[in-house]
Amino acid sequence: MRPFQLPLHRSRHPFARALSLVVGVALLGVMLVFGLVVAGVLLVGGGLWLALRQWNRARAVGRTAPVAGGARAPVLEGDFVVLHEGRPIAR
């Protein structure tokens, strides 16, 4: 036996059937409107966030000091080891 079971009988009264239909359609409409509002807020918020990010990047590029004498931009340097498959690694 199931611990929770919905009543499966349908009302025979025509007014009750019509009222349940209207309530169901109204609930679907409310959920649709709510979903569209949430989607609109997300789209507008995402667009504003992207625009603000691009604006901040453009301002940051304008503030960087020009490199004197045509020197290169700083390079991240480091050591690396090439590992070959099949060969043991010397420790």
Checking if the pLDDT of 73 tops 80, the result is no
Confidence at residue 18, expressed as pLDDT on a 0 to 100 scale:
92
For residue range 7-37, list pLDDT tens digits in order: 667 778 889 899 999 999 999 999 999 999 9
For residues 51 and 45, the answer to whether their CB atoms sit within 8 Å is no
What percent of the chain shows pLDDT beyond 90?
A: 43
- Could you give the CA distance from residue 12 to residue 15 in angstroms, rounded to a whole number? 9
Confidence at residue 43, expressed as pLDDT on a 0 to 100 scale:
98
Task: Tell me which of 79 and 45 has the higher pLDDT.
Answer: 45
The mean per-residue pLDDT over the stretch 54-62 comes to 85
Classify residue 71 as left (phi > 0), alpha (psi -120 to 50) or beta: beta
